[in-house]
Structure 1
Amino acid sequence: MAVLPYMQFYVADYLADTMHLSTEEHGAYLLLIFNYWQTGKPLPKNRLAGIARLSNDRWTDVERSLNEFFIDDGNTWTHQRIERDLLSVKGAQSQRSEAGKKSAQKRAEKKTKENQPKSNDRSTTDERNSNDRWTDVERSLNEFFIDDGNTWTHQRIERDLLSVKGAQSQRSEAGKKSAQKRAEKKTKENQPKSNDRSTTDERNSNDRSTNKDPDKDLNTDLKDQTPHIAGACENGPSPDESPPQELDDVFWTDDPTVKFPMATTWQPSPDFKRRAAVWGNILDGPDPGYSPQELASFTTYWKAEGKAFHHVQWEQKFSRHLASQRGGSPPGAKPKRQRQGAFEPSGNYGEKPPEFN
C-alpha cells in the first residue's frame, strides 16, 4: 500500500535524466518507478519484466538502458531518489500523527479540569466575598423597596403586575363572550325554520293562487273573443313549430355563488353558441362559434383588468365581445346605441327661413 495516493514527480528532472531513452524504455521505466512508489520497497529482479509488461526477449534489450537508474544488489533494484522521497513523506506523517495525539491529549485534560467541581475552600472564599459585597450594596438599594422583615416589595412593579393581570382577565372575558355569541348565532342558523314562517309561506301561497284565478278567466275570455287564437291553443302547436329549447345545465361547470378573475385557461360552456343566441347575440360560423384567436384576445384583455365575475357573466361578456369585434369594435367595448330624437336641422346653416323675408 502506498504511503500517499500521489507521488512527487519533477518533470524537468525526469526529462533531463532520460533524454536518451526510447518510447518503449520510457514506458517501462515509468511503470517500474510507479510500482516502486506503490509498494514502498525495492523491486525484485525476477518480476521486473512482468512489472514493465514486456516479454523476456524485449526486457533483455530494455534492461541495459534502465539498469543505470537503479542499484542492483543481486536480488532487487533500489532507486535512491524514490527512497529519499519515501523517508521524507513517512517522517512528515509521523510528525503530524504525534502532534495530533498531543493536541487530543491536551484537549482531554482541559475538558477533565473544567468538569471537576471547584474545591470547598474556593467556594467558601467566594461566598464570603459575595456576602461582604452585598452588605455594601444593600444600603443603596434598600430605599427602593419596602422591607417587612422577610421580603422586599416594590410598589411600582406590584401596580404594573395588577394592571397586566386585569387587562388579561378582560381580554379573556371578552373572548369568551364573543365565542359564545358566535356559537349561538351558528346554532340559530342551523335550526329549522319556525312554524310561524311556514304558516306565513302558506298564506302567501294561497294569496298568489287566489290572484291567479282572474288571470285564468281573462285568458279564457280572450280565447273566446279571438277564435283563431283559441283554435290554435286547442289544437296545439303546428308541426312546423317547435317549443323554444331551454338551456341545459349539464354543462355549467362553475359554482354560481363564486366569482373569479379571468385566466388564460378559461373556456366557455360546450353549448356557448346556443346560449349566446338566447342572449340575443347570433354567432355565425360552425361550433363553438368562436376561434382560438378571438378567445385569446378576450381572455388577455380581461385578465389585465383583474375584475371578477361569475362564469355565466363571463360568457355573456364574451358573446357581446364577439358581436362587437366582428362589427369592428375593440375588445371590452360596449355596442354603440343610436340616439333617438336627436335634433336634425333642415337646410343650410345661416339661411333665413321664408317667413322672415
Structure 2
Amino acid sequence: MKIKNLFLLLWLSCSFTYAEISSDDLQTIENLTDQVLGNKKLAPLEPQIKAQIKKSQPTVQQLFKAEEINYNDSVYLHNYAIITSGYAEYLLDQDCAELSHPIQELAEQAYLALQKRDPKDSIALNNFGLFYAQMSVYYRKNSDPTPRLTYLLKAEQLFETLIQIKPKDEEYERNYYAVLSDKLMLLHKYHRDTEEQKRLVNILKKPLFQFLADPDQPFDSGNFVILAQQYYQGLNRENPKAAEKWLRDNQQKIETVVNKNRKHTQRENEFLAEFYALLNQPAKALSYLKQLEFSDENSTEPSSFENEPNLANLRLNPEYQKWFKKYTQDYQEYRKALPEVCKITQLETTRNPVS
C-alpha cells in the first residue's frame, strides 16, 4: 500500500512576541518550508536548507531541552520539523544514509518536543507518523528487515493514538491502514510473527470488505489490489480451499478494479500475475509479469518468484521460463551497476552535513 508522501504545513496566526524567535525568523523558515513542500527535488534548495538548519540549531536545541514550549515556539518547530524530515528523506533518496541519520535525529527531536507540548496535536502526530513511515520506505531493500519494522512500529503507534483522538478522520485512518499494510507485507516476506500477521489481516479486512461491497466507489484501487493480496495470503495459510473459493467468488469485483484505465504499480502487477496463475489463466498471468521493471525501486528479487507458491502453475510453462531467465539476468546486471556511494558529490563527506 502506497503510503501518502505529504507533510501538512501548519499555518498559525499569532503575535510573534515569545522567546528569541523574531517574526522575521518565522517568516524565513515558513518561506523555506513552502519551497520544500512544493518541490520533489531538493537539490536546488540544498544550500538554503543547510543554512537554515545550521542557523536554527541554537534555538531548537534550547526548545528541545525546555520543560514547556509555548505556542509561538511550536510554530517554529513545526516548520523546522518539516524541513529536516524532507531533507533527511532527500538524502536517503540520494543513497546518502550516513548524512541522513543526524538529520533524521533532528526531525525526530522536533516532533518529540511538539508531542511533549501537546500530546493531542493531531497535525504534529500525523506529520510525525508520516515521517517514520517515509523513513521506513528507504530501508525496504535491506536484507535485515529490523530497521524498517522499527520505523513502521513507531508510525503505527502514532497513528493508533491519532485515530483515538480523531476517530472520524478518513485521512488519518487511511494512513494507519497504509502503515499496517506495509508492516504485514514485511512480516509475511520474512516469515516473522505469524500471530501478528493474523491480527493485522483481521484489522485490514475492514477497508477491503468496504471496497468489495462497492467496487465502483472512488478509492485508491492500488490499495484495494494489495489488500486483496494480503487477505488472500492470510486466508491461504489457514485454509487453502477457502482462500481459493474466496478468490473465485470475488474474481469479478477484483477484475472490475483491475480493468480501470490506470498504470499498475510493481506490487499490483505481481499480485495480478499470482491472481491469474491461481485461476489457471497463464497468458494473463504472464502479461502482468512481463510488465515488471527490474530497474524499478520496488523491483522484486528473482528468488522471490522461485519461492512463490502462487506461481506454481506457471513454472513448467516455456514462456514463463523464458521470462524468468531474462528478468533474472537483467536484474543481476542492473544491481551490479548500481552506485554504492552517495550521489551528492557537492556535500562534505562528514557525518554532520550541517556543520
Structure holding more helix per residue: 2
Higher-Rg member (1/2): 1
Q: Which has the higher contact order (CA 8 A, sep 6+)?
A: 2
Structure holding more strand per residue: 1
Q: TM-score, normalised by structure 2?
A: 0.20
